[in-house]
Amino acid sequence: MAAKTRILVPGTIRERVLDRLKDVFDIVRIEKADPALLARSEAASISGVAVSGSFDAAMIEHLPSLEIIASFGVGYDGVDVSAAAGRGVVVTNTPDVLNDEVADTTVGLLINTVRRLPQAETWLREGRWTREGAFPLTPLSLRGRRAGIYGLGRIGLAIAERLKGFGVEIAYHTRRPREGVPYAYHPSLLELAEAVDILIAIVPKTAETHRTIDAAVLRALGPNGVLINVGRGWTVDEAALAAALHDGVIAAAGLDVFYDEPNVPEALLSAPNATLLPHVASASVVTRDAMADLVADNLLAWFERGAALTPVPETPLSRKTG
Ligand code: NDP
């Protein structure tokens, strides 16, 4: 009987990925993605990787027979995709299956930020409703607002579709206008921020998006402005944002992602007009299961049929056989 294909799983990953793979493949676990944890002889036997988190060039180089890295999540900034492409290794991610969950969470975070619902619940739980009376009216509301979406991709579009139902005007910025959408396009982030009073960031972590939401963009958003970030913390200049929240340069922010997770700067924690979540936009059982299934299905499709289901654009590869 032929030996089973060997799949390396560094660190932790949703158990469902392992359950789906264990009968077909030989699974090799290591504590984290560190070449020192895998002897050269064993490394040579690895054909595929399933990973949630980072997988760098040193790991790719350590695996001479590697064909595929199936990454858990739609953002694949943790995987050195150019090193993979250079070696002819396909990288897959988990697009689309999380669009609705992330868009739902974004709308929830926006409403919490604007209408201060977490603070209102705390008011009730601390007995202040009975002692002090009604929770103070919120100065902010969604009524009459214009929302700008920074990144109108798969998730950005799902957010826009939901916001239509709230009667807010919608505009967006991407590098290229998206065909067939009814929303106003702004060729720069600064122009978008000037035109709206809600800015929702849902762009990937790339060299081009680094700290693009800076002091100038926040000033353009203005004193009634609300920033929501569900993309990556990398996109925001957190020091500028904290200053803008404390100084009233913008009105409020809702953040699901941070520059150096899980560390959240004290200056953001101490801002009463910041609503902060621990990177939970896709974090429901149903959606994380769908993501786990897509990780497993990519590996199965690659080794059984020679083509991955959702390769990232940088590695549009088919399997070389024979
Ligand atoms: P897509 O690739 O479908 O969309 C990305 C969008 O960003 C596109 O509209 C793209 O347009 C735009 N974009 C990319 N680079 C730039 C740039 N330099 N300037 C302006 N716009 C840019 O990705 P998804 O919608 O599926 O996911 C987006 C990101 O959201 C992920 O990469 C991930 O980092 C993050 N995410 C966060 C989650 C969380 O838990 N908080 C959960 C899921 C995703 P164009 O190419 O025309 O510029």
Q: Of 146, 261, 304, 305, which is the active-site residue? A: 261
Active-site residue flag, 232: yes
Do 188 and 173 meet the contact criterion of CB atoms below 8 Å apart?
Answer: yes
Do 311 and 317 meet the contact criterion of CB atoms below 8 Å apart?
Answer: yes
Please state the atom number of ligand 1 nearest to the C-alpha of residue 203: 7
Do 92 and 310 meet the contact criterion of CB atoms below 8 Å apart?
Answer: yes
Do 171 and 183 meet the contact criterion of CB atoms below 8 Å apart?
Answer: yes
Active-site residue flag, 162: no
CA 201 to chain centroid, in Å, comes to 10
| Alpha helices (runs of H) in 222-284, residue ranges in sequence order | 238-247, 266-269
| Alpha helices (runs of H) in 179-322, residue ranges in sequence order | 189-195, 215-221, 238-247, 266-269, 285-305
CA of residue 37 to ligand 1 center, whole Å: 33
Q: Is the CB of 261 under 6 A from ligand 1?
A: no
One digit per residue, the tens of pLDDT, for the chain of length 322 reads 688 999 999 999 999 999 999 999 999 999 999 999 999 999 999 999 999 999 999 999 999 999 999 999 999 999 999 999 999 999 999 999 999 999 999 999 999 999 999 999 999 999 999 999 999 999 999 999 999 999 999 999 999 999 999 999 999 999 999 999 999 999 999 999 999 999 999 999 999 999 999 999 999 999 999 999 999 999 999 999 999 999 999 999 999 999 999 999 999 999 999 999 999 999 999 999 999 999 999 999 999 999 999 999 999 999 987 5
Q: Of 232, 246, 266, 304, which is the active-site residue? A: 232
Radius of gyration in angstroms for the set of CA atoms belonging to the chain, rounded to a whole number: 22
User: Pairing relation of β-strands 26-30 and 226-229?
Assistant: unpaired
Its pTM stands at 0.98
Q: Is the CB of 148 under 6 A from ligand 1?
A: no
Dihedrals φ, ψ of 276, to 5°?
-120, 130
Q: Of 154, 219, 246, 279, which is the active-site residue? A: 279
Active-site residue flag, 279: yes
CA of residue 136 to ligand 1 center, whole Å: 37
